[in-house]
Structure 1
């Protein structure tokens, strides 16, 4: 399933409740360049829906190299014939 980057606002203001079921949080380690794809329902099990994503981004840890600093993240949304691009 193809994904395309989506902008939901300023990075520090995006809250967990703004993510849809089609979204995925892509967390990338700057040290080893490993990317992790995290579904919103996994994050909702751990964090409150009104919490900004940037506030718990410091909790991300790379499982490959153990890096805890400067983990970058972005939001991608699934697109395809069954998903309209406008929603």
Structure 2
């Protein structure tokens, strides 16, 4: 299933409850460049719905190198014939 980057607003204003079921949170470690694709239901289970993702990103830890600082993240959304591009 193809994914495309999506912008939900300013990074400091995007909250957990803005994520939909077809979104994926892509977290990248700046030290070892490992990328993790985190499903929305995992983010909902771990963090409060009104918590900004920028604050939640401070709890991300790289499983490869153990880095906890400056983890970058972006949101990608599933597209395809069953998912229209506008949502």
- TM bin, normalised by shorter chain, reads over 0.9
- Where structure 2 has 5 or more consecutive residues not aligned to the other structure, the ranges are none
1:60 matched residue in structure 2: 60
2:82 matched residue in structure 1: 82
- Where structure 1 has 5 or more consecutive residues not aligned to the other structure, the ranges are none
Q: How many residues align?
A: 87
1:79 deviates by 0.4
Give structure 1 regions of 4+ aligned residues with deviation exceeding 6 angstroms: none
CA distance in 2, matches of 1:70, 1:46: 19
Note if 1:72 corresponds to 2:75.
no
1:12-31 alignment runs, 5 A limit = 12-31=12-31
CA distance in 2, matches of 1:48, 1:60: 15
CA distance in 1, matches of 2:52, 2:30: 22
1:40 deviates by 1.2
1:81 deviates by 0.9
Cα RMSD (Å): 0.6
1:35 matched residue in structure 2: 35
